[in-house]
Amino acid sequence: MAEITLQDIIKPENLVYQKTKLMTDKTLSYCPGCGHGTAHRLIMEVIEELGKENDTIGVAPVGCSVLAYEFMNVDMQEAAHGRAPAVATAIKRLWPGKVVFSYQGDGDLAAIGTAETIHACNRGERIVMVFINNGIYGMTGGQMAPTTLPNMKTATSPYGRDIDMMGNPLKMTELVSYLPGTYFVTRQAVHTPAAVRKAKRALRMAFQNQIDGKPGVSFVEIVSNCNSGWKMEPVQANTWMEENMFPFYQLGDIKVDGKLIDR
Amino acid sequence: MGELRLMKGNEALAEAAIRAGVDGYFGYPITPQSEVIEYLMSEKPHERTGMVVLQAESEVASINMLYGGGGTGKKVMTSSSSPGISLMQEGLSYLAGAEIPCVVANVVRGGPGLGDIQPAQSDYFQSVKGGGHGDYRLFVIAPASVQEMSDFVPLAFDVAFKYRIPSLIVSDGLIGQMMEKVELFDPIPRLTDEEVIARYPWATNGKPKGKERRILTSLDLDPHKMERHNWALQEKYKLIEENETRFELIGCDDAEYIIVAYGSSSRIAQKSIQLARKKGIKVGLLRLITLWPFPKKPIEEFVKNGIKGFLTVEMSAGQMIEDVKLVVEGRAKVEHFGRYGGVIHSPEEVLEALEQKLIGG
Ligand SMILES: Cc1ncc(C[n+]2csc(CCOP(=O)(O)OP(=O)(O)O)c2C)c(N)n1
Ligand code: SF4
Ligand SMILES: [Mg+2]
């Protein structure tokens, strides 16, 4: 049998997967194992598959993903900390035919930007909001976020989050699901191939809703790791996330087609 | 001649927004300028021109809506009064950094803090010295009549788009609330989406086919690149200083003394000058139209021609006086007079101050 060379394999007909051209070739600025990069890729794949690369405007947050615009190869604006939903609101209102999404961390979306989040959701802006919940402020060095779990150690809760003193973790996604202006609300993860496939399906539904002119926000939370902030190895961080984050932040759809799911 | 109407300053501003072809107005109510959004809502601009009007959840949201909308090349505008404008300072800094055009109107009221709802000019520092963080400028223009509340809207947009800079219209509760005759300009049609795309290649409204995508950001983690960005901003500001400075001289030809004022104070000062002339005091008025760029040249001219002194008149504890002094550099006497905290000075008070502080002193 003739020896098979690499050249024989690299042929268009053998192609099963390739990097979306909507991700730039820039090296991701994220820590190895971080979920941000995977989340970026999924959004870009969905936009490419929906044929919307020339009709999309994305809004990046302040947080580790502040440089999302370096990696996502579509028109992008970088918003002030927490204000992405207001920025996206105006873009969509002025260009109703375009696809508009915001991308935010938990500090950005659920602390400093709470008002913008709630009101964009309550007004029923026809945008996609992607929410990366890693339970911590990754960018600024691992301080407590509104989403930090009880007893979880961070730079500003060094002995663990004391609920009496520091308050409770905030389930922003459940909260917005009760608002009449949200059309699709789901919580996903991107730490395993199965989770990635589900998250991508959710993102596709979110963007499809917008393209179809469905009334309201499509809100996709992705529970993600922050191995640097959590001070863990990447694999250990994923295990910790499954054991601690997922029981508190339950994965799955919360609201579909404007109706709350009985969970 | 354009259509004549008797209107409040705030209404004239709102009507001008519709006529100037504004695509989006985003605002939050606050006295003494709530008539702006009330007027807009009652006029149904979405039917008249297709303009979007949205009541935001806060001034923080409004200014960030301007960032988003302005960043797509659309004409966007907001208005507020002092406390609301304070909330917008972070957003203005981002708009300046990312070079996004927009128009913001401040109908100033007394402060600090919640202050009151009466007219004041105590937001001068905030308007022209930054307000937000970083080395940036806004194009700041001060109407002195209801007519100018209308006329300065298209002008503020022209400058904003020409230089990709936020424009700030600074009036006060007096001009916002008073009614005067106004000749409205003929409506300027809104640009179509295609025109916006063709005219503003920097705008983020969907990556053009076969071309590079656009990014609007105020961030660069490389300090040297950030310094270069700052240099470019400063070059632009220099150009604006050269081309866009505006002022008006009233009765200055034979003047021995000059009152420097803007907005409402300049209206009051005109009366003071008449009173002074009756007493044989030769005083003229330098009325600032742009607050930034600051009209340095006329002040320099007055000093060179041996003016005896300047009286700055503003409804503040003395803010604009600092910029006058920076030009005068000790070569002539510069004094300040003004009532503030929402109190409006009378023409007689101004004359008295002129006599006591400059002439008698
Ligand atoms: C007005 C303002 N306050 C504070 C900061 C500092 N800051 C930058 S990112 C950040 C938190 C980001 O956390 P998160 O949104 O959870 O994003 P992550 O990095 O975890 O993805 C903070 C507090 C800022 N840039 N602007
Ligand atoms: S600090 Fe955390 S969120 Fe930021 S890149 Fe690293 S792992 Fe990701
Ligand atoms: Mg976070």
Question: Tell me: the pLDDT tens digits for B116-157?
Answer: 999 999 999 999 998 999 999 999 999 999 999 999 999 999
- The residue-averaged pLDDT of B45-52 equals 97
DSSP bridge partners of B24: B52, B76
Q: How confident is the model at residue B360 (pLDDT cuts 50, 70, 90)?
A: confident
Asked if B82 and B115 count as a contact pair (C-beta separation under 8 A), the reply is: yes
Using the structure block, give the residue that is written with the tokens 């598959």.
A49
Closest to A182 (Cα-Cα) out of A216, A222, A220, A131? A216
Instruction: Give the pLDDT score at B324.
Output: 98
Where does the pLDDT of residue A1 fall: very low under 50, low under 70, confident under 90, or very high at 90 and above? low
Give the separation between CA B285 and CA B310, rounded to whole angstroms: 10
A5 occurs within a structural domain: no
Strand runs (DSSP E) across A106-248, as ranges?
A: 128-133, 136-137, 143-144, 182-189, 217-223
Distance CA B342, CA B60 (A): 25
Say if A21 falls within a structural domain. Answer: no
Name residues contacting ligand 2 (CB within 6 A): A 30-31, 34, 36, 64, 134, 138-139, 226-229
Mean pLDDT, chain B, rounded, equals 97
A2 band by pLDDT with thresholds 50, 70 and 90:
confident
Place A227 in a pLDDT band, splitting at 50, 70 and 90.
Answer: very high
pLDDT of residue A118: 98
Looking at residue A23, the DSSP 8-state letter turns out to be B
**From residue A188, how far is each of A59, A137, B18 by CA, in Å?**
20, 19, 44
Interface of B with A (CB under 8 A): 23-24, 26, 52, 54, 56-58, 60-62, 64-69, 71-72, 74, 76, 90-91, 94, 98, 193, 204-209, 213-219
Q: What is the pLDDT of residues A10-50, one digit of tens each?
A: 898 999 999 999 999 999 999 999 999 999 999 999 999 99
- Cα-flanking dihedrals φ and ψ of residue B107, to 5°? -95, 90
* Domains identified in chain A, total number: 1
Q: Is residue A65 part of a domain?
A: yes
Q: By C-alpha distance, which of A237, A225, A234, A42 is closest to A130?
A: A42
User: Which pTM was predicted?
Assistant: 0.97
Q: How confident is the model at residue B239 (pLDDT cuts 50, 70, 90)?
A: very high
CA–CA gap between residue B270 and residue B186 (Å, rounded): 30
Q: Do B24 and A76 touch (CB under 8 A)?
A: no
Amino acid letter, residue B272: S
Share of chain A above pLDDT 90, in %: 94
Give the residue numbers spanning the domain of A103.
30-260
Judge whether A3 lies within some domain. no
User: Which of A25, A77, A109 should be substituted to probe chain B, the one whose Cβ sees the most B Cβ atoms within 10 Å?
Assistant: A77
Tell me the sheet residues that pair with A136.
A144
Answer whether residue B361 shows pLDDT above 80: no
Residue-level pLDDT at B1: 79
| Helix (H) / strand (E) containing A173 | helix A172-177
| pLDDT-above-90 percentage for chain B | 99
What average pLDDT does this structure show over B318-334?
98
Atom of ligand 2 nearest to the CA of A33: 7
Residue A127 has pLDDT above 80, yes or no: yes
Q: What is the band of A250 on the pLDDT scale with cuts at 50, 70, 90?
A: very high
Q: Is residue A6 part of a domain?
A: no
Sign of CA dihedral B138, B139, B143, B146: negative
Percent of chain B with pLDDT over 70: 100
Tokens encoding B153: 């809207």
What are A116's two structure tokens? 């913008």
Q: How far apart are the first and last CA of chain A?
A: 57
DSSP code for A243:
I
Residue A3 confidence class, pLDDT cut points 50, 70, 90: confident
pLDDT for B66: 98
Question: Would you say residue B58 has pLDDT above 90?
Answer: yes
Cα distance between residue A188 and residue B172, in whole Å: 51
Query: Can you tell me the mean pLDDT for A166-192?
Result: 98
Residue to substitute in A67, A103, A104, A134 for testing ligand 2 pocket (most ligand atoms within 8 angstroms of CB)? A134
Neighbours of B14 (CB within 10 A): 33
B178-234 pLDDT tens trace: 999 999 999 999 999 999 999 999 999 999 999 999 999 999 999 999 999 999 999
Please answer whether residues B259 and B273 qualify as being in contact, where contact means their C-beta atoms are separated by less than 8 angstroms.
yes
Q: A89 to chain B: which residues are within 8 Å by CB?
A: 54, 61, 65, 68
A206: tokens are: 């979110």
pLDDT tens digits, one per residue of B244-268: 999 999 999 999 999 999 999 999 9
- Determine, yes or no, domain membership for A187: yes
- The CATH number of residue A201's host domain is 3.40.50.970
What lies within 8 Å, CB to CB, of B95 at 6+ separation is B63, B66, B67, B70, B102, B166
Q: pLDDT tens digits, residue range A57-93?
A: 999 999 999 999 999 999 999 999 999 999 999 999 9
Distance, CA B273 to ligand 3 centroid (Å)? 62
- Interface test with chain A among B77, B204, B218, by most A beta carbons within 10 Å: B204
The answer to whether position A89 is within a domain reads yes
Q: Are B110 and B342 in contact (CB under 8 A)?
A: yes
Closest residue by Cα to atom 7, ligand 2, is: A226
**Cβ <8 Å between B69 and A91:** yes
Judged by CB atoms closer than 8 Å, whether chains meet at A54 and B208 is answered as yes
Q: List, in order of start, the domains of chain B with CATH numbers.
A: 3-194 (3.40.50.970), 248-359 (3.40.50.920)
Residue of B nearest to A55 (CA): B206
- Within a domain: residue A240? yes
A50 touches B: beta carbon within 8 Å: no
Q: pLDDT band at residue B91, thresholds of 50, 70 and 90?
A: very high
